Amino acid sequence: MVHATRKIVVIDDGAGPRDPHNACNPPVRGAMPWSRPINGDIRFMAETLTQVFEPASPIDTSGFYPELGLLIQGQWIASSDGATRDVVDPATARVIGRLPEATEQDVQRALDAAQAALAGWRRTPPAMRAGVLTRAAALMRERIEVIAQTITLELGKPLSESRVEVERLAGVYEWHAAEAQRIYGRLVPGAEGVNNLVLREPIGVVAAFTPWNGPAASPGRKITAALAAGCTVVIKPAEETPGSAIWIARCLMDAGLPAGALNMVFGNPGNISSQLIRSPIVRAISFTGSVPVGRQLAALAGQYLKPAVLELGGHSPVVVCEDTDVVAAAQACARRKFLNAGQICMSPTRFYVQKGVYERFTEAFVETSRAIRIGSGFHAQSQMGPLANERRREATERLIEQACGVGASVATGAERLGTQGFYYAPTVLTDVNAQVEAMQTEPFGPIALLLPFETLDEAIARANDTAFGLSAFAFTQSSAAADRLVREIECGIVSVNHFMGAGDSTPFGGMKDSGYGREGGAECFDGYLVSKLASHKVR
């Protein structure tokens, strides 16, 4: 595997070299000081289309990064034994904070707090619960810059993408607030003199677990659905991106959420998840993450007869038919592929392109991929940041090396970038053997796999040829082909001629090894409510 280092340039727009990291300290609202244009100067692009902007010094986080702590009974506290772990900026590999690690006693305190708060919160009228969520959404929008900067600092993705994450999350909170007021029961006719009333009640205390790739959105979605349903929550967000989740919790607390309704702990994932699921206080779990961990948690939850909502990632196929605008489709596919450096569960990865347009699609896809500008997420021109950690970069390299070892060709990329942080070039592989690990395992990195097909039957069969079933995409002008693709591809989400994501009003979830249960849409409360029959014989 080649580990090349490309030329590093800090843009000079006439006012002297600018370090984008140092620019982020002052204002947290309005236009960012590093967002001014660079006067069309693209001389630095002469050597290569893919460019790394490397900061010369670490970020001053004093204006936006929150104090890290455990949230228990409405208080931010340190761990009871003082243990901490480092939080690292993936753009520089520098430590940006030290996160308390909860002990067994800390986790039990969080469980007790959630249990104590449950009785009052579940009796709170839906309109009042909705009011808290609506105010929290407003606070997220007011604080969008500090939250977005925290996401970019911890995860590395461009600030523009981080802002979108916060804005969409605020919309999710507003959706749940509205839906919480439409949790209806029903009256079922019975025998003469008998009233059968079906009630939908909160299931109880929910344990939630979320990954680092959606550091605000993923914990935010689980928290708001559970709270809107009348449940209380103990959540363990990812230890690599704690500040983003802490900001969401702060918005809820400032919006009037009662102490104990939400508790947030960090620490050893295995120990905490085992303690939470085994606890008789917890009545349901919600998990987003890898298939192996999801299997373990589902097995443990099943042992204790606790329902679960599981979103376990994907390996999204894209079917490109020859009747589409091939160049436009290729450009859209490449841009979508490398959002968040490919670290998205719905990231398109396996591109099946009809043979007649395969070469033209590949050429346009590679050209677009090479033009993506890579660097600090705080730089206004950056289109892709670093990978989240060194583990992901090493895993990316291993998958590429294995694929190339059995015949795959590198059309572009396959190299490390920069001298610090976890940067990796957008990589396009062609002539990929269907049995290589990258075709069967979620790459979760900047790898695109391009393969030709002849018939729609072949494309559908190959799209379904993995254990995953989260999302799929297709490009065609044929209504008949679109109908077949939607009906026959085995995924929870199929989008044609665009890259539809998880909206607040639409259900999000998968099938097969991608898990079960849904977040969002009218189905959003299914994992947090139980149905009770109240049968009353009138005397």
Partner residues linked to 84 by β-bridges: 100
Please, which pLDDT band fits residue 55 given cuts at 50, 70 and 90?
A: low
Residue 86: the pLDDT is 98
- Where does the pLDDT of residue 53 fall: very low under 50, low under 70, confident under 90, or very high at 90 and above? low
Q: Residue 344, Cα to own-chain centre: how many angstroms?
A: 6
List, by residue number, the catalytic residues. Answer: 311, 345
Residue 15 pLDDT more than 60?
A: no
Q: Are 320 and 326 in contact (CB under 8 A)?
A: yes
pLDDT of residue 211 exceeding 80, the answer is: yes
Are β-strands 515-516 and 70-72 bridged in parallel, bridged antiparallel, or unpaired? unpaired
Crossing angle of helices 126-142/217-229, nearest 10°? 160
What percentage of the chain's residues is helix, strand, coil (to nearest 5)?
Answer: 40, 20, 40
Whole-angstrom distance, CA of residue 36 vs CA of residue 20: 11
- pLDDT of amino acid 167: 97
Average pLDDT over residues 313-326: 97
Name the token pair of 204: 């109880």
Among 1-5, 260-264, 390-394, 473-477, which is the least confidently predicted range?
1-5
Q: Does 47 score more than 70 pLDDT?
A: no
Joined together, the tokens standing for residue 338 give 């490398």
pLDDT tens digits for range 222-247: 999 999 999 999 999 999 999 999 99
The 8-class DSSP code of residue 519 comes to B
Q: Which residues contact 89 (CB under 8 A, 6 or more apart)?
A: 58, 59, 95, 96, 153, 154, 156, 421
Indicate whether 68 pLDDT > 80: yes
Q: What is the mean pLDDT of residues 299-313?
A: 97
pLDDT at 54: 60
Q: pLDDT, tens digit, for every residue of 430-469?
A: 999 999 999 999 999 999 999 999 999 999 999 999 999 9
Closest CA relative to residue 432, chosen from 509, 518, 362: 362
> For 152-192, how does the pLDDT look when each residue is reduced to its tens digit (9 = 90+)?
999 999 999 999 999 999 999 999 999 999 999 999 998 99
Q: Cβ–Cβ contacts within 10 Å for residue 50, how many? A: 22
* CA atoms in the 13 A half-sphere facing the CB of 268: 8
Residue 411 three-state SS: strand
Q: β-pairing, 75-77 with 282-288?
A: unpaired
CA distance linking residue 480 with residue 478, whole number of Å? 5
- Confidence (pLDDT) at 122: 98
What are the backbone dihedrals phi and psi of residue 331, each rounded to the nearest 5 degrees, phi first? -65, -45
Evaluate if residue 33 carries a pLDDT over 90: no
pLDDT on residue 166: 98
Q: What is the pLDDT of residue 59?
A: 77
More confident residue, 267 or 3: 267
Local confidence band at 370 (pLDDT 50, 70, 90 cut-offs) = very high
CA–CA separation, 403 and 436 (whole Å) = 6
Q: Which two tokens stand for residue 322?
A: 């020859």
Nearest C-alpha neighbor of 481 from the set 465, 494, 500: 494
Q: Which of 2-6, 40-44, 269-273 has the least mean pLDDT? A: 40-44
CA distances from 363 to 326, 351, 400, 485 (A): 10, 13, 20, 25
Q: How far apart, in Å, are the Cα atoms of 2 and each of 414, 417, 424, 512, 539? A: 7, 11, 11, 36, 83
Helix (H) or strand (E) holding 72: strand 70-72
pLDDT above 70 as % of the chain = 89
What average pLDDT does the segment 516-529 reach? 94
Residues 6+ apart with CB under 8 A from 451: 350, 351, 352, 353, 430, 432, 434, 462
Contact between residue 85 and residue 48 where contact means Cβ atoms under 8 Å apart: no
What pLDDT score was predicted for residue 46? 24
Burial of 476 (0-12, 13-18, 19+ CB in 10 A): buried
Residue 98 parent element (H or E):
strand 94-100
Whether the pLDDT of residue 5 is over 70: the answer is no
Question: What ranges in 156-264 are assigned the alpha helix state H?
Answer: 159-179, 217-229, 242-254
* Residue 260 pLDDT exceeds 50: yes
Q: What is the pLDDT of residue 500?
A: 78
With the C-alpha atoms ordered 68, 71, 75, 77, is the resulting torsion angle positive or negative? negative
Mean pLDDT estimate for the chain: 90
